[in-house]
A = this chain, B = another copy of it.
Amino acid sequence: MFEQDIAQIQDLIDHERLTELRELFAQYPIPDIADILMAVDQNNRVLLFRLLPRAISSDVFSYLESEDRNEILKGLSHEETRNLLLNLRPDDRTVLFEELPGRVTQKLLNLLTPEELKTTRLLLGYPEESVGRLMTPDYVAVRPEWTIGEALDHIRLKGRHSETLNVIYVTDKSWKLLDAVEIYQFILTDPEQRVADLMGHSVIHISAFEDREEAVHVMLRYDIQALPVVDSEGVLLGVVTFDDVMDVAQLEATEDFHKGAAVTPLKGSYRETGIWELYRKRIVWLLGLVVVNILSLQLMAYYQEILASTIALTFFIPLLLGSGGNTGSQSSTIMVRGLATGDIEVNAWAASLGKELAVGLVLGLTMGLTGILLGSWNGGLTIALIVGITMMLIVIVANLIGAFLPLLLTKLKLDPAVASNPLITSITDVTGLIIFFSVSQWILAIAH
């Protein structure tokens, strides 16, 4: 997408027109600079990175993928690395240290000032995927008894290095969070008034130990752009901003997509993930599902008399099991996603199951009729009856399994996303075969 820009910059590099290069390069938005940086010739990357103004270079660095960060870090001097680290926002620094190998992290930690080190160690102390890991301690807080004018002076003094100035926090002397006030309210209000006059009844906040997914839910529900993070005493620790939360929402959705297809969620992007890593994340599930499928194998062997006696019935097995799997995948996916967004509540499970029972009945009737048609076309009356009834029952049962399993998993405090399409398909295969052989035995006994 930046072919022209990249060519132009590569050209400036090749002709060593560094002043022009420096000026042009810094004019792009940060994410574009990051993309262009990784698109130029590998030998020129560190050179180009060094040309960036200090304030921009740390932001660009935060945008790179972790492998690319390592590459840049290797090319920088001690002093340059130190400056880069000090300019990184605290939350971006946490992410960097999370990703790097422990040995490199130790080396980098030694470059920090004692105060920066304290903050970093504190943020790294929160559990992985917790809100604490996402937050930045760079915010501005004011006291309720101050006038708006005093508050504005304080904001001007403290605000220059803050990541989040759109919302100003009101705390008491012991830093307990009292309220969050959008900065434009300070502009719209008479400077003689008190901060207390701007305060509302309640303030939405979250604990640093909460799962980061909860921060997504809270921000989506309350439409707030910066979520204050507190400890168990209600003391303000930091702020989570909407951009971090949007990234988390995207990551969590990707994880749920992967889980839904029985892939253990990847740690990094697909591009970054190696072949062995991809293999490991998938083979575990494929082999686990083979175990479920062994039941199908056993069932087929057990009922081989039926298969041998009426070979035409065998022809319908892929069709019947496939339809069951498709139906189960539909209902399980609707449930898993509904539970993730809060659209379906586990406490109202009876209502959801009732609805799915009803939908399953009509789906089963339609598919059962289709089964009768296909059966009479490819067999005779007996086969038509067996295929039709089996299809109807398989669809109804598969639909209920797909709806029930995610609810059950949630009730058991397990992740409903484990009810992946492949798992549901494997389970409906087994139940489908049981239904198929039972119905076959029954109808064949009547027919003879």
Interface residues of A in 167-220 (CB under 8 A from B): 182-184, 186-188, 201-202, 204, 219-220
Q: Is the CB–CB distance between B329 and A421 below 8 Å?
A: yes
Q: Is the CB–CB distance between B297 and A319 below 8 Å?
A: yes
Interface segment among A70-78, A102-110, A125-133, A310-318: the answer is: A310-318
Q: Is the CB–CB distance between A300 and B287 below 8 Å?
A: no
Which residues of the partner chain B approach A165 to less than 8 Å between Cβ atoms?
182, 184
Known: A220-B246, A318-B321. A334 touches B270 (CB 8 A): yes
A337 within 8 A of B: yes
Which residues of the partner chain B approach A333 to less than 8 Å between Cβ atoms?
257-258, 260-261, 263
Known: A249-B249, A250-B220. A326 touches B285 (CB 8 A): yes
Residues of chain A at interface, number, CB under 8 A: 109
Q: Is the CB–CB distance between A279 and B359 below 8 Å?
A: yes
Q: A260-B261, A283-B362, A318-B321 are in contact. List 11 more A-B contacts (CB 8 A).
A: A28-B202, A155-B188, A160-B188, A165-B184, A183-B183, A246-B249, A261-B333, A278-B359, A282-B359, A297-B316, A421-B421
B260, B297, B426: the one contacting A374 at CB < 8 Å is B297
A262 within 8 A of B: yes
A341 within 8 A of B: yes
Q: Is the CB–CB distance between A367 and B156 below 8 Å?
A: no
Which residues of the partner chain B approach A338 to less than 8 Å between Cβ atoms?
270
| A432: nearest chain-B partner, CB-CB | B318
Chain A residues with CB under 8 Å of chain B are 27-31, 152, 155-156, 159-160, 165-166, 182-184, 186-188, 201-202, 204, 219-223, 225, 242-243, 245-247, 249-250, 253-254, 256-258, 260-263, 269-271, 275-276, 278-279, 282-283, 285-287, 289-290, 293-294, 296-297, 300-301, 304, 307-308, 311-312, 314-319, 321-323, 325-327, 329-330, 332-334, 336-338, 341, 343-344, 352, 355, 358-359, 362-363, 366-367, 370, 374, 378, 395, 421-422, 425-426, 429, 433
Which residues of the partner chain B approach A260 to less than 8 Å between Cβ atoms?
257, 260-261, 333, 421
Q: List 11 A-B contacts (CB under 8 A).
A: A279-B359, A282-B327, A286-B330, A286-B363, A287-B366, A290-B367, A300-B316, A300-B317, A314-B314, A317-B317, A425-B425
Q: Is the CB–CB distance between A261 and B332 below 8 Å?
A: yes
**Distance in Å from the Cβ of A428 to the closest Cβ of chain B?**
10
Q: Is the CB–CB distance between A225 and B166 below 8 Å?
A: yes
Which residues of the partner chain B approach A341 to less than 8 Å between Cβ atoms?
250, 254
Q: Is the CB–CB distance between A275 and B359 below 8 Å?
A: yes
| A252: nearest chain-B partner, CB-CB | B253
**Distance in Å from the Cβ of A204 to the closest Cβ of chain B?**
6
- A308 CA to B421 CA, complexed, in Å: 32
Which residues of the partner chain B approach A283 to less than 8 Å between Cβ atoms?
362-363, 366-367
B256, B263, B294: the one contacting A257 at CB < 8 Å is B256
Known: A257-B257, A261-B421, A275-B358. A319 touches B334 (CB 8 A): no
Max chain B Cβ within 10 angstroms of own Cβ: one of A186, A242, A338, A429: A242
**Distance in Å from the Cβ of A302 to the closest Cβ of chain B?**
9
Which residues of the partner chain B approach A31 to less than 8 Å between Cβ atoms?
221-222
Known: A159-B187, A187-B152, A322-B426. A297 touches B363 (CB 8 A): no
Q: Is the CB–CB distance between A287 and B329 below 8 Å?
A: no
B257, B296, B315, B362: the one contacting A301 at CB < 8 Å is B315
Which residues of the partner chain B approach A323 to less than 8 Å between Cβ atoms?
286, 289-290, 293
